[in-house]
Chain A
């Protein structure tokens, strides 16, 4: 590419709002015109360390309802930060429109450039274009919805007391990981509509309130005993793997406000669900984008050599991958893996070797008119999630480069742990399949479903955990969560852990606690 010289954006480490504006414009120019990215409008917010800690504790969102657990996280992070054990992130970015990026005030000008390129363009593009985010999140509505949730929960606390609301929220939080839909429904989630619906329902209730209804005697309820098991299960929509949804709709003794709180927790869980499924891709995209933009800025002379060195230093810290025997090894670093894969794909597209042509016939050598790999990358960024991305695009070359191997720990194998595949011809596909599986949420999260309710009898709720690979639930937390389910359901709850053959390996039960029963 031709190098168009550009005026130096800044000198040294200091910056002001004018500098930020210039940096943003320069990045925007490269991102839109050269990389062909498509982003939400940007909003850049400069924050202090305390505000960053704040954002940490409320899952990164600028506004959130009140709950003790956020206070706990804040205290925890703060203690670490004060002792100097932990640095804070340089930025946090929110999947909303406009896309809000928080920048720490103490970043140097180089870091601000890096962060703007990373968050305001990399993540932003990914949020706007990836199919998961498109299907499951409503970027325009999220901030309004959070505002509604915050207000709603505050009003509930006023009306029904902090303790009661807290108990419901505790239960909802415990079930959040099992409160998401996995299959797109008939309509796209519209969070603004949600808020309106709740308001309308309340006004309708207030308008049609008539105390007389309370005094009308009710006849004996219709017996459900004649319903067949199959019909009953269909009527309740069973089996159901969205526990929060099931409890919201079917728990017999919840108050309307409690159902609404469960609904709020469910929507928030659903909003974050795509992020859990795209860690590697999301960070890989953002890192790749910032690397391209920074290199280009340096090439054009907009960043001095010294500042570029500073960038390279923090960039290589970010994409550092310790090996398995390193005491620092935390598992795969999503930045490192993502960035390595993006660069590898770029190489496959622009300079494929024979092996690449064999493994990736669809993308090898498919450069655009400018000789760039961006069209292929943009297409990948839009249409994959971590699991499918890795299972499609992890190349043998990268496996060799990172020297990946597959370890299988089977208790039946008494001698020890088996190395079941390494980075060789026989192992490539197995390693790739296994690594992809580790990023598949539906594989890593235990699969728990509501299977039956004994409506005719004691109304016991029956949950089932389908065991994979003989791995049971962690007993202590499972009991705690089940207690929360029982409190919401207000009758006994049983959780069976069933293996593939249908044998029940373990059973947990819980009964509702007294105070919740007082409905």
Chain B
């Protein structure tokens, strides 16, 4: 008999089949992910999760008998029946009375769990991200191997020669291994020696030394040291992400959905880069308030539109809780572009004087309907464009469809790439 321990076999044997399955189910999975995004928080976009997909195109048909016709069953557990009894059929239909559970009318929906990578991949795919950016986002946290002393085990490639020979030398000296010079001089002495008795004694001594050399190896396994590496995570850093959104009545559900995706993408990006990311949600009409995520996206509010109120709120929060020295501040604003004319000067002043100097990045997303062309330029757009041409570090973008969101971040990615090139 043979006993084999298979537990150590490489995992993920089913991975290839799973990928095939996901490829085949791509459309429905994407639909399912889209649906589940609506109900999840920005923070949770990075988690995998259970999705339920219809089995369209995923059936494995076989030639089976349908219902109908004369059916016979033998069943256990008769209690009161005698031969010839007639039992009324259940009203539901012509099917045999003891419907066999779990057979026939099986699964028309199919639930299974997507891993974090898969979920993210589908999400990013949906936004039509360039592959390079996708890889960058989907990759898991980087860890750099750094030297961390020596160890007694390791790969031969990592053998630390200096340390090993030094230890060998110490051991040889401690155990008094005769060195070659001693033996050579002894041999010379023997050669020069004329006295037989003395020579015998010397030869015995030489023999003892030779035996000692043999017993004490030049390098012993206990001497060997390897360079040890430890994986060190990237330096801990923290960032705060401000989500600003106009929630006045002119923002439609579609626009809010676009904004949500925009925030999600930024969040993924930030959490790739920073250990700790905090989210602040500020919604505004003609006055701004800090709210939780649910209120932010879902509760309705009415009023006019004053963008400066949101910026003012952000400024106070930064001053109160997020010192720019300790925090990387990112801000993302979404709006349909309305702003009252009188507010323009205040907005420009706040932005250039208080917000932009402390922010790493400020992105403005103007959301619109998918089918509508952006014909006229909105008040806010004109203002931001002017600020940009004056040299303010602003990213602005008009978005009508979710595939247009990514370009807003393009510069963010490119900057990162450039930095990395310098670093390596």
Which positions in A face B, CB cutoff 8 Å? Answer: 17, 20-21, 24-25, 28, 41-48, 50-51, 53-54, 57-58, 66-72, 74-76, 78-79, 82, 98, 102, 105, 162, 166, 170, 173-178, 321-327, 329-332, 402-413, 415-424, 426-427, 431, 434-435, 437-438, 444-446, 448, 467-478, 480-481, 484
Measured between beta carbons, the chain A residues less than 8 angstroms from B13 are 51, 54
Measured between beta carbons, the chain A residues less than 8 angstroms from B110 are 72, 75-76
Partner of B86, one of A46, A66, A412, A417: A417
Q: Is B101 an interface residue (CB 8 A)?
A: yes
Q: Quick one: given A43-B1, A404-B76, are A417 and B87 in contact (CB under 8 Å)?
A: yes
B93 to chain A, nearest CB (A): 11
Knowing that A330-B100, A409-B89, A481-B63 touch, tell me 15 more A-B residue pairs with CB under 8 angstroms. Answer: A24-B1, A44-B2, A45-B4, A46-B4, A72-B110, A98-B2, A322-B77, A323-B76, A402-B77, A404-B76, A415-B86, A419-B84, A422-B82, A475-B66, A481-B62
Measured between beta carbons, the chain A residues less than 8 angstroms from B341 are none
Per the bound structure, the CA–CA distance linking A78 and B48 in Å amounts to 14
* Docked-complex contact A419 and B96, CB < 8 angstroms: no
B218 to chain A, nearest CB (A): 40
25 A-B pairs with C-beta separation under 8 A: A20-B3, A41-B1, A46-B5, A48-B6, A51-B6, A57-B14, A57-B17, A66-B17, A70-B17, A71-B20, A321-B76, A332-B74, A408-B71, A416-B87, A434-B72, A438-B73, A469-B71, A470-B70, A471-B70, A472-B66, A474-B66, A477-B61, A480-B61, A481-B61, A481-B62
Q: Is B377 an interface residue (CB 8 A)?
A: no
Closest to B71 in A: A409
* Docked-complex contact B20 and A477, CB < 8 angstroms: no
Q: Is B180 an interface residue (CB 8 A)?
A: no
* Docked-complex contact B21 and A71, CB < 8 angstroms: yes
* Docked-complex contact A329 and B65, CB < 8 angstroms: no
Partner of B11, one of A20, A42, A50, A409: A50
B83 to chain A, nearest CB (A): 5
The interface residues of chain A, by DSSP majority, are classed as mixed
* Docked-complex contact B14 and A68, CB < 8 angstroms: no
Measured between beta carbons, the chain B residues less than 8 angstroms from A478 are 61, 63
* Docked-complex contact B63 and A46, CB < 8 angstroms: no
Partner of B77, one of A326, A408, A438: A326
* Docked-complex contact B66 and A82, CB < 8 angstroms: no
Q: Is B201 an interface residue (CB 8 A)?
A: no
* Docked-complex contact B77 and A403, CB < 8 angstroms: yes
Per the bound structure, the CA–CA distance linking A417 and B71 in Å amounts to 10
B100 to chain A, nearest CB (A): 6
A2 to chain B, nearest CB (A): 27
Q: Quick one: given A71-B17, A403-B79, A415-B86, are A76 and B112 in contact (CB under 8 Å)?
A: yes
Per the bound structure, the CA–CA distance linking A159 and B101 in Å amounts to 44
Measured between beta carbons, the chain B residues less than 8 angstroms from A162 are 20
Measured between beta carbons, the chain B residues less than 8 angstroms from A323 are 75-77, 79
Interface residues of B in 86-106 (CB under 8 A from A): 86-89, 94, 96-98, 100-102
Q: Is B276 an interface residue (CB 8 A)?
A: no
* Docked-complex contact B71 and A75, CB < 8 angstroms: no
Measured between beta carbons, the chain B residues less than 8 angstroms from A58 are 14, 17
Measured between beta carbons, the chain A residues less than 8 angstroms from B58 are 72
Q: Is B316 an interface residue (CB 8 A)?
A: no
Q: Quick one: given A51-B7, A66-B16, A472-B69, are A44 and B1 in contact (CB under 8 Å)?
A: yes
> Number of B residues contacting the other chain (C-beta, 8 Å)?
63
Q: Quick one: given A78-B112, A402-B77, are A477 and B59 in contact (CB under 8 Å)?
A: yes
Q: Is B22 an interface residue (CB 8 A)?
A: yes
* Docked-complex contact B88 and A329, CB < 8 angstroms: no
Measured between beta carbons, the chain A residues less than 8 angstroms from B102 are 330
Per the bound structure, the CA–CA distance linking A458 and B100 in Å amounts to 43
Top 8 A-B pairs, shortest CB-CB distance: A323-B77, A471-B69, A71-B21, A71-B17, A474-B66, A75-B112, A470-B69, A480-B61
Per the bound structure, the CA–CA distance linking A438 and B72 in Å amounts to 9
Q: Quick one: given A43-B1, A329-B101, A469-B69, are A177 and B20 in contact (CB under 8 Å)?
A: no
Q: Is B60 an interface residue (CB 8 A)?
A: yes
Closest to A69 in B: B60
Closest to B52 in A: A79
Per the bound structure, the CA–CA distance linking A421 and B85 in Å amounts to 9
Per the bound structure, the CA–CA distance linking A422 and B87 in Å amounts to 14
Q: Is B39 an interface residue (CB 8 A)?
A: no
Q: Is B146 an interface residue (CB 8 A)?
A: no
Per the bound structure, the CA–CA distance linking A78 and B21 in Å amounts to 14
Q: Is B152 an interface residue (CB 8 A)?
A: no
Closest to A177 in B: B62
Measured between beta carbons, the chain B residues less than 8 angstroms from A413 are 86
* Docked-complex contact B60 and A173, CB < 8 angstroms: yes
Closest to B73 in A: A407
Q: Quick one: given A46-B6, A407-B97, are A474 and B65 in contact (CB under 8 Å)?
A: yes
Per the bound structure, the CA–CA distance linking A406 and B69 in Å amounts to 16
* Docked-complex contact B63 and A416, CB < 8 angstroms: no
Partner of B7, one of A46, A79, A445: A46
Q: Quick one: given A69-B60, A79-B112, are A471 and B71 in contact (CB under 8 Å)?
A: yes
Per the bound structure, the CA–CA distance linking A435 and B61 in Å amounts to 27
Measured between beta carbons, the chain B residues less than 8 angstroms from A405 are 74-75, 78, 81
Q: Is B19 an interface residue (CB 8 A)?
A: yes
Closest to A400 in B: B78
Measured between beta carbons, the chain B residues less than 8 angstroms from A79 are 50, 111-113
Per the bound structure, the CA–CA distance linking A323 and B86 in Å amounts to 19
Measured between beta carbons, the chain B residues less than 8 angstroms from A78 are 112-113
* Docked-complex contact A67 and B86, CB < 8 angstroms: no
Per the bound structure, the CA–CA distance linking A216 and B22 in Å amounts to 46
Per the bound structure, the CA–CA distance linking A51 and B60 in Å amounts to 23
Per the bound structure, the CA–CA distance linking A406 and B84 in Å amounts to 10
Partner of A417, one of B16, B18, B97: B97
* Docked-complex contact B113 and A68, CB < 8 angstroms: no
Partner of A446, one of B61, B63, B98: B63
Measured between beta carbons, the chain B residues less than 8 angstroms from A53 are 14
Measured between beta carbons, the chain B residues less than 8 angstroms from A24 are 1, 3
Q: Is B68 an interface residue (CB 8 A)?
A: yes
B26 to chain A, nearest CB (A): 11
Measured between beta carbons, the chain B residues less than 8 angstroms from A408 are 70-72
Q: Is B9 an interface residue (CB 8 A)?
A: yes
Per the bound structure, the CA–CA distance linking A478 and B1 in Å amounts to 47
Per the bound structure, the CA–CA distance linking A66 and B89 in Å amounts to 46
Q: Is B23 an interface residue (CB 8 A)?
A: yes
Q: Quick one: given A45-B4, A67-B20, A75-B112, are A473 and B77 in contact (CB under 8 Å)?
A: no
B108 to chain A, nearest CB (A): 11
* Docked-complex contact A66 and B20, CB < 8 angstroms: yes
Q: Is B64 an interface residue (CB 8 A)?
A: yes
Per the bound structure, the CA–CA distance linking A229 and B62 in Å amounts to 30
Measured between beta carbons, the chain A residues less than 8 angstroms from B77 are 322-326, 402-403
B160 to chain A, nearest CB (A): 37
Partner of B68, one of A44, A406, A472: A472
Per the bound structure, the CA–CA distance linking A427 and B97 in Å amounts to 20
Measured between beta carbons, the chain B residues less than 8 angstroms from A72 are 21, 58, 110
Partner of A470, one of B68, B79, B111, B113: B68
Q: Is B24 an interface residue (CB 8 A)?
A: yes
Q: Quick one: given A78-B113, A324-B76, A418-B84, are A474 and B64 in contact (CB under 8 Å)?
A: yes
A353 to chain B, nearest CB (A): 22
Closest to B2 in A: A43
Measured between beta carbons, the chain B residues less than 8 angstroms from A471 are 65-66, 68-71
Per the bound structure, the CA–CA distance linking A405 and B87 in Å amounts to 13
Per the bound structure, the CA–CA distance linking A51 and B65 in Å amounts to 34
Per the bound structure, the CA–CA distance linking A99 and B401 in Å amounts to 59
Closest to B7 in A: A48
A179 to chain B, nearest CB (A): 11
